[in-house]
Amino acid sequence: MKKIRKAVFPVAGLGTRFLPATKASPKEMLPLVDKPMIQYVVEEAIASGIEEIILITGRGKNAIEDHFDNAIELEQLLKEKNKLEELKMIKDISDMCDFVYIRQKEPLGLGHAILRAKNAIGPEPFAVLLGDDIIYSDGVPALKQLITVYEETGSSVIAVEKIPRSKISSYGVVDTEWEKDDSCKIRGLVEKPAEDKAPSELAVIGRYILTPKIFELLENVERDKSGEIQLTAGLNELCALEDMYGCKFSGKRYDAGNKLGFLMATVEYGLRRKEFGDEFRNYIKALNL
């Protein structure tokens, strides 16, 4: 069985839910406490064994490339000021792994963004991580949990999470052949179903292991009404041809692509910080809410 070595990070979306912050800077660079969101997800990928990260970028996303590159002047300055801890911190970011950048010239959908990675991936199964979904885990990283299911089954795997029915219509939802405590077998997917039409309460979360068959399928799926290539359309065809599993990962997931979810993540990541977590907790408790 081929090892999962490469991961695709589609970051070419416009981030309209986060305007005006995203007018001139990428959503992925918004910090949770002091680290850009994208870095949390890159660290999850690396902790899961990923060796090469392919970022699908678009206009206005240069800050992401700069963030994972060397920062010669800053490094020099920190050296001169003897700020060695900070120096190590920023050098570690660029040394994390190999980064490859591919442009998606127009935001024509998540499926289209992933298709841009076809040549860079080649004939091997690969991971996809969406930077909006931040998953905190103090045990096995979420992507690693998916990779374990892939290693057991040799099939595509999608991260799924049980969501209350009242909220299910904001998600892609899986239709299952069977469901266990930690996994399920997927027979289809529905994008944003009405509450009473949802085939299950298991929502698709932004972590995937996909076989390379997905590229051929995405190339041929029908575009949606807005002319976009949707990943869900490709996944539906993939699970008609090959087995596909859902992984009910353990870990706390934040939908940091919208303002409320981002705020919740900020508070919780702040509370987890050793340096000021207690002081922050006391501050929140003392707020006269």
User: Least distance to ligand UTP from the beta carbon of 287, Å?
Assistant: 29
Three-state SS letters, the chain: CCCCCEEEEECCCCCHHHCCCCCCCCHHHCEECCEEHHHHHHHHHHHCCCCEEEEEECCCCHHHHHHCCCCHHHHHHHHHCCCHHHHHHHHHHHHCCEEEEEECCCCCCHHHHHHCCHHHHCCCCEEEECCCEEEECCCCCHHHHHHHHHHHHCCEEEEEEECCHHHHHHCEEEEEEEECCCEEEEEEEEECCCHHHCCCCEEEEEEEEECCHHHHHHHHCCCCCCCCCCHHHHHHHHHHHCCEEEECCCCEEEECCCHHHHHHHHHHHHHCCCCCHHHHHHHHHHCCC
Closest CB to ligand UTP among residues 32, 78? 32
Cβ 16 to ligand UTP shortest distance, Å: 3
Q: Which residue is nearest to ligand UTP (CB)?
A: 13
What is the nearest approach in angstroms of ligand UTP to the Cβ of residue 57?
8
Task: Find the shortest distance in angstroms from Cβ 176 to ligand UTP.
Answer: 23
Least spacing, CB of residue 229 vs ligand UTP, in Å: 8
Residue with smaller CB distance to ligand UTP, 104 or 145:
104
Q: Which residues bind ligand UTP (CB under 6 A)?
A: 10-18, 27, 56, 104, 107-110, 112-113, 130-132, 257
